[in-house]
């Protein structure tokens, strides 16, 4: 975990709760990085780490759902690189979620967000909800449910690993 501080060294003067929120708002990192970091390095209890990680991970969801359409259209119309990037990203997201969405509906969105692996999370879930034209209010609920489930999984893994490692020593 020390290497993470090299990138976020300027954040060290902020309260651990704010650091946790900021890191959980980052794409790819999300709560799968912020939660273990908050528990192991920032000194937060598991429930504090869970709360602030879920909160931070949820914040970008609203903005993604509300603004991805206009922003991606504008960037695609003005920059060839963004047109290619969005075409790749949207196709990849559709491919990953289409089959499960057809089978399980919005529950597939929650489960997709709940899987604590890279490129499955709130950012990608919000993007998928927009791509499929899902109702944004329902999507917010199921994405939040997925974030909360991911938080439970990561918390259990983190606290279990910490407990196991302290038992070994």
The pLDDT tens digits along the chain (169 residues) read 555 555 556 667 899 999 999 999 999 899 999 999 999 999 999 999 999 999 999 999 999 999 988 998 898 899 899 889 888 877 877 777 777 777 788 898 999 999 988 778 999 999 889 888 888 899 999 999 999 999 999 999 999 876 666 666 5
Are 41 and 1 within 8 A, CB to CB?
Answer: yes
d(C-alpha 54, C-alpha 107), whole Å = 19
Are 87 and 94 within 8 A, CB to CB?
Answer: no
Residue-level pLDDT at 149: 97
Residue-level pLDDT at 10: 66
Q: Which residue has the tokens 């060290």?
A: 12
Cβ-Cβ contacts under 8 Å for 42 (sequence gap 6 or more): 16, 19, 20, 49
Residue-level pLDDT at 65: 93
For residue 26, give the DSSP letter. Answer: S
Residue-level pLDDT at 161: 74
Report helix, strand or coil for 8: coil
Residue-level pLDDT at 98: 75
Say what the pTM is.
Answer: 0.80
Residue-level pLDDT at 102: 73
At CA 148, angle to CA 145 and CA 152, rounded to 5? 140
User: Residue 8 corresponds to which tokens in the numbers above?
Assistant: 């976020």
d(C-alpha 64, C-alpha 130), whole Å = 8
């Amino acid at each position: 975990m020390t290497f993470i501080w090299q990138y976020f060294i300027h954040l060290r003067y902020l309260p651990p709760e704010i650091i946790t929120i900021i890191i959980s708002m980052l794409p790819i990192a999300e709560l799968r990085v912020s939660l273990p970091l908050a528990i192991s390095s920032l000194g937060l209890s598991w429930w504090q780490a869970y709360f602030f990680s879920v909160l931070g991970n949820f914040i970008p969801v609203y903005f993604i759902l509300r603004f991805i359409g206009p922003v991606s259209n504008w960037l695609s119309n003005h920059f060839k690189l963004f047109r290619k990037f969005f075409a790749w990203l949207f196709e990849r997201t559709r491919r990953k979620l289409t089959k499960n969405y057809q089978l399980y509906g919005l529950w597939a969105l929650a489960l997709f967000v709940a899987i604590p692996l890279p490129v499955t999370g709130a950012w990608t879930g919000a993007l998928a909800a927009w791509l499929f034209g899902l109702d944004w209010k329902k999507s917010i609920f199921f994405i939040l449910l997925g974030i909360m489930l991911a938080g439970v999984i990561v918390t259990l893994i983190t606290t279990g690993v910490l407990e196991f490692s302290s038992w070994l020593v």
